[in-house]
Amino acid sequence: MVENHSSTAGPTGAAQAQAAAADLPAPARPVLEAPDIARVLTRIAHEIVERAKGADDVVLLGIPTRGVFLARRLADKLTGITGRPTQVGSLDITMYRDDLRLHPPRALARTEIPGDGVDGRLVVLVDDVLFSGRTIRAALDALGDIGRPRAVQLAVLVDRGHRELPIRADYVGKNLPTSLRETVKVLLAEEDGRDSVLLGQKESRNDSRQDAHGGPGADARSDAPAR
């Protein structure tokens, strides 16, 4: 099952991205492959250690589904760099979404906060694709009910633009200018059998999302604004 980060609505439509979309082939095209993803995560891990001056109090919280796997991979890399075990967990944002009333209720994913909690620590939220920013807004609300971190940062594998809220990422794997008619799919070995980031075209011109009823395994969450 594939999480399909596509959008139908957004305040901005980047003209150059629209133009770029015209030359894209119809089938999804890989923009990052497994070695690229590994390199990108290594770089982000080093950036986290650098900015946190050692990453002593870092807690990585992945946003289900794929953010959790990315958070675990980042934690392994941080542990490799610092030589100390890294706190890692997951944060389900389903109950904090702002579009709950637009769809049938979704199945919930697991929220797993590491033993010491988040109070006074540096929480790094980890997600696969940053799009409208609404998922991160929900994650900040969810985090506020769990504790009071010293600071919150955001790491994403892909930033595809089209923000609808004043939110930006602290660590970005790849900036990917897209049009709203394109889809960004992140595949990870833990869930999909292989690592890849695919850029494709939306299949239908109507505004309903083909994956909106793909089941909770497929879309336990998404950054898309109008699903």
Partner 1 sequence: MKRHLISAADLTRDDALLVLDTAEEMARVADRPIKKLPTLRGRTVVNLFFEDSTRTRISFEAAAKRLSADVINFSAKGSSVSKGESLKDTALTLEAMGADAVVIRHPSSGAPHRLAASGWINASVVNAGDGTHEHPTQALLDAFTLRRHLSGPGRDLNGRRITVVGDVLHSRVARSNVLLLTTLGAEVTLVAPPTLLPIGVERWPCQVSYDLDAVLAKSDAVMMLRVQRERMNAAFFPTEREYARRYGLDGLRMAALPEHAIVMHPGPMNRGMEITAEVADSPRCTAVEQVANGVSTRMAVLYLLLGGSEPAVAPAAATAATRTEESK
| Site residues, partner 1 (CB under 8 A) | 1, 65, 92, 95-96, 100-111, 141, 145-147, 190-191, 213, 215-218
- Sequence length of the chain is 227
Backbone angles phi, psi at 27, to 5 degrees: -70, 155
Nearer to partner 1, 24 or 95 (CB): 95
Quote the tokens at residue 109.
């994913």
Query: In angstroms, rounded to a whole number, what is the distance separating the alpha carbons of residues 183 and 178?
Result: 8
Query: In angstroms, rounded to a whole number, what is the distance separating the alpha carbons of residues 3 and 66?
Result: 9
Nearer to partner 1, 50 or 99 (CB): 99
Nearer to partner 1, 36 or 98 (CB): 98
Task: Kindly state the smallest distance separating residue 31's Cβ from partner 1, in Å.
Answer: 26
Task: Kindly state the smallest distance separating residue 53's Cβ from partner 1, in Å.
Answer: 29
Nearer to partner 1, 167 or 212 (CB): 212
Nearer to partner 1, 68 or 130 (CB): 68
Task: Kindly state the smallest distance separating residue 206's Cβ from partner 1, in Å.
Answer: 18
Neighbours of 106 (CB within 10 A): 18
Q: For residues 127-140, b (16+ Cβ closer than 10 Å) or e, as one string?
A: bbbbbbbbbbbbbb
Task: Kindly state the smallest distance separating residue 90's Cβ from partner 1, in Å.
Answer: 11
Task: Give the torsion through C-alpha atoms of 198, 204, 207, 213, to 10 deg.
Answer: -70
Task: Kindly state the smallest distance separating residue 3's Cβ from partner 1, in Å.
Answer: 12
